[in-house]
Structure 1
Amino acid sequence: MNHDVELQEFAAVHGAMAEFNTPEEILAAAERAYAAGYRQMDAYTPFSVEGLAETIGFKKNYVALAVLIGGICGVTGGYSLLYWITVIAYPHNVGARPLHSWPSYIPITFECMILLSALTALVSMLAMNGL
C-alpha cells in the first residue's frame, strides 16, 4: 500500500512560490491568480512594481493614522498634565517666573507624544494583524 498516494488525495495547496524576470510577468501572474480566486497573496520584489499592490488586493491599513492620533493625544495629555500640576494643583512661584512657563513643558510633552505614539503603534499593529 502506497501511503504517498493516499496523502496526495487529501493534500491542499497552502502556498506557491515563483520567480519572474520582468515586472510585466509578475503583474500578469498576479492578475491570473486573483482571477482564479486566490485572495491571500503576497509579492516580494527588489524594487517597486507599479500596480502590484492593487493587483494582489492589498488593503490600506490604518496604523499610521492611529499613531498620529496617539501622538496628538500624548501631546495634549502631557501638556494638560503639566499645566494642571504647575498652575492649578501646586502653584509655586520659583524665580519670579510665571506659573504657566510653557518652554519648560516642551521636554515632557515631547516624551509623552513619543511614548503614546509607540504604544499606539504596537497595539494597533497587533490588532490589525488579528493577534
Structure 2
Amino acid sequence: MSKKKILVIDDNQTTLHIIDDVLHTHNFECIKANNGENGIEAAKTQKPNAILLDREMPGLNGQEVLKLLKKDEKTKNIPVIMLTGGNNINDVAKFLEAGAQDYIVKPFNNENLIMRLKNVIIP
C-alpha cells in the first residue's frame, strides 16, 4: 500500500516540523509549503490525499487559499482540514461553508490529528 500524501500549508516552521514528524510516524508522506502561494502550487502538482491548512499566514491567508483551492478543477476535490489557533465558532462556520471538511484547534493532540486525517481521506 502506498503512503498517503498530506500537504501541510503553514508559515510556522515549528508547526511544519511537528506535523512532519507526526505524519511520518503514522506512515504518511508529508509535503510542506510555508505560504499560501506555494501551497496552492504544491496542491496542483503533488496531488495530495488531503491538505492541512493554517488559518493565519502572511500574504494569502488560509480562508483565501481555501477559496482558491475549491475553485480550481485540479484541487477542488482534495479534502482540506483547517488549522486554527482559536476556537472562534464564526471562523469555523466560514471555513466549513467555504468547503473545508474539518478543522483542528492548535495546539492539537497528535492522535486527534491522525484520526481526523483518516476520516477525510478517501481510501
Greater strand share, 1 or 2? 2
Rg: which structure is higher?
Answer: 1
- Establish whether TM, by shorter chain, passes 0.5: no
The structure whose residues are more often helix, as a share, is: 1
TM-score (norm 2): 0.28
